[in-house]
Chains A and B, each alone.
Chain A
């Protein structure tokens, strides 16, 4: 266990060093544009799996949290010209509060009813923002980037590094939850909610906690997107595609371990970027659908399940 922990932290540090070195060495802008999106999806998928994977509450409201993160940043930039750090911190707090509110409203419902409720809430939020003139309403809003920090050559490179920091944060939290009593409680209530209650698990409180953490991380991941695109409009940031893509990433990767959504997001994220360049970004949705169906049928436990089965098969072969 201890050695595992050291390996994790060394890995995280190496990852950040590599990302930082990349921003210093690579001159081509494209890798940062594409990489940023992939990193953003890793954060979203990891955050999603805290509620959707560990607790088994399938949330279709990812786009709502993401969009609220974007618009928190937009609002702050317009109202106060707050720096990026403040935008992200504020989005995290707003996300936690939103997670709490949404959780209180929806977490008493189970299964498909919960999922439907989360879709309904995203629509309500999207509609509200669409009618909010101050942040541009339906037409959207243009945002200007401030000058970049001296450490970086370019604003997108900086955003790329910031999103990498968020990846490490999200994975660290997901890993902690998975290994702690919180994770055990969530796993118990996913298996059987009444049995969990009768074994002492405060199911509603744990689900709320998962929803708060998950929502906070999703909003945090959304905040830098305002500066990344330099533009925000409700129909694109609240697009249901975010919810479906993130859900597919987590399910394709596997939800039992924090590594699952990371793998899924990398696999799908890279595929989508390659497709966007080679064919068209419209094909993405098709490929996403096909992959999701393939995995649900052939590997219901995702990539992680495939790996586990393969390694078990090898162990049995040797024995």
Chain B
């Protein structure tokens, strides 16, 4: 299906280290993400998953190591430059622009993230936004203020806003946390549908069925180090992964 050796990785993380004072949150992490891959990222709380995402999206500066996206070193770029190059993310705790409606939230992405190709009429822009909202199942709520959304709607809005930036790599940070079983399935189906549209997805998740169903490859972090990486079933069966989750 994928020929790892020959293909240039979409994202290459090389020897990445991130410290907060004396605490090492990420310790010499290296991984390649292939184009089109569905990549699961797991690990106990505090293992460095979100820190890794923050380093990829640019929210954190790193102490050492490089982040290379599509052959370009982006280690020192601010977040908005990375978004424009095609890296989008959602947040563990949803961060909507709360003074705006859903459509306006997505318009921000249209205004700033996509490469400006001259003047686009308002009607056409709205059409673009609406097509994203239809795909994410939010079309009916388009003009509703984000303060009036339910948890699952907020999660979807975040994914929709990320989609509106036309990403090549989408990072979903626990988009299913706290949702009901049927809502988890909804969001999972949404992510799978996005993956079918040639978008590479990194999914952080604690819900194991979702990780197993979604991922082609899974990586497990513990205390800032990679303890296992490979096919989902292999990683789950790994002794160290089980120890990390269950404790010894």
A198 CB contact (under 8 Å) in B59, B99, B100, B107: B59
Residue A196 CB within 8 A of the other chain: yes
Contacts of A204 in B (CB 8 A): 78
CA distance A195 to B89 in the complex (A): 9
Q: Produce 1/0 per residue, A151-192, CB < 8 A to B.
A: 000000000000000000000000000000100110110111
Q: How many A-B residue pairs have CB under 8 A?
A: 77
Task: Give chain B nearest CB distance to A41 CB in angstroms.
Answer: 26
Contacts of B19 in A (CB 8 A): none
B59 CB contact (under 8 Å) in A191, A197, A200, A256: A197
Contacts of B84 in A (CB 8 A): 200
Report whether B59 and A195 are in contact in the complex, using a CB–CB cutoff of 8 Å: no
Beyond A184-B104, A194-B79, whether A201 also contacts B112 by CB under 8 A is: yes
Report whether B100 and A187 are in contact in the complex, using a CB–CB cutoff of 8 Å: yes
CA distance A41 to B107 in the complex (A): 34
Report whether A200 and B91 are in contact in the complex, using a CB–CB cutoff of 8 Å: no
CA distance A198 to B74 in the complex (A): 14
Select from chain B the residue with minimum beta-carbon distance to A203.
B80
Report whether B58 and A197 are in contact in the complex, using a CB–CB cutoff of 8 Å: yes
Residue A199 CB within 8 A of the other chain: yes
Interface set, chain A 184-234, CB cutoff 8 A to B: 184-185, 187-188, 190-192, 194-204
CA distance A202 to B98 in the complex (A): 19
Select from chain B the residue with minimum beta-carbon distance to A197.
B79
Task: Give chain B nearest CB distance to A185 CB in angstroms.
Answer: 6
Contacts of B162 in A (CB 8 A): 199
Contacts of A201 in B (CB 8 A): 80, 108, 112
B98 CB contact (under 8 Å) in A181, A191, A194, A196: A191
Task: Give chain A nearest CB distance to B204 CB in angstroms.
Answer: 15
Report whether B165 and A200 are in contact in the complex, using a CB–CB cutoff of 8 Å: yes
Report whether A198 and B89 are in contact in the complex, using a CB–CB cutoff of 8 Å: yes
Task: Give chain A nearest CB distance to B193 CB in angstroms.
Answer: 21
Report whether A200 and B97 are in contact in the complex, using a CB–CB cutoff of 8 Å: no
Select from chain A the residue with minimum beta-carbon distance to B84.
A200
A196 CB contact (under 8 Å) in B89, B107, B108, B114: B108
Residue B148 CB within 8 A of the other chain: no
CA distance A199 to B108 in the complex (A): 7
CA distance A67 to B57 in the complex (A): 42
* Majority DSSP secondary structure for residues of A touching B: helix
Q: Produce 1/0 per residue, B205-224, CB < 8 A to A.
A: 00000000000000000000
Report whether B79 and A192 are in contact in the complex, using a CB–CB cutoff of 8 Å: no
Report whether B79 and A191 are in contact in the complex, using a CB–CB cutoff of 8 Å: no
Task: Give chain B nearest CB distance to A223 CB in angstroms.
Answer: 34
CA distance A195 to B88 in the complex (A): 10
Contacts of B107 in A (CB 8 A): 184
B108 CB contact (under 8 Å) in A184, A202, A256: A184
CA distance A181 to B110 in the complex (A): 10
Q: Which of A185, A187, A201, A203 has the most CB of B within 10 A?
A: A201
CA distance A195 to B162 in the complex (A): 10
Contacts of A191 in B (CB 8 A): 96-100
CA distance A187 to B104 in the complex (A): 10
Report whether B99 and A200 are in contact in the complex, using a CB–CB cutoff of 8 Å: no
CA distance A306 to B100 in the complex (A): 19
Residue B135 CB within 8 A of the other chain: no
B97 CB contact (under 8 Å) in A192, A197, A202, A256: A192
CA distance A187 to B162 in the complex (A): 18
Report whether B108 and A194 are in contact in the complex, using a CB–CB cutoff of 8 Å: no
CA distance A256 to B98 in the complex (A): 13
CA distance A201 to B161 in the complex (A): 13
Beyond A197-B78, A199-B161, whether A187 also contacts B112 by CB under 8 A is: no
Beyond A184-B111, A185-B111, whether A200 also contacts B96 by CB under 8 A is: no
Residue B95 CB within 8 A of the other chain: yes
Report whether A192 and B96 are in contact in the complex, using a CB–CB cutoff of 8 Å: yes
Report whether B99 and A199 are in contact in the complex, using a CB–CB cutoff of 8 Å: no
B113 CB contact (under 8 Å) in A192, A194, A199, A203: A199
CA distance A202 to B111 in the complex (A): 11
Report whether B80 and A197 are in contact in the complex, using a CB–CB cutoff of 8 Å: yes
CA distance A143 to B84 in the complex (A): 53
Report whether A198 and B88 are in contact in the complex, using a CB–CB cutoff of 8 Å: yes
Task: Give chain A nearest CB distance to B95 CB in angstroms.
Answer: 4
CA distance A188 to B106 in the complex (A): 11
Contacts of A188 in B (CB 8 A): 97, 100, 108
CA distance A190 to B104 in the complex (A): 14
Given contacts A187-B99, A199-B112, 7 further A-B contacts (CB under 8 A): A184-B111, A195-B96, A196-B97, A197-B79, A198-B91, A200-B114, A200-B165
6 example contacts (A-B, Cβ-Cβ < 8 A) are as follows: A184-B111, A185-B111, A190-B99, A192-B95, A196-B97, A202-B80
The 5 closest A-B pairs by CB, nearest first: A200-B113, A200-B112, A197-B79, A195-B95, A191-B97
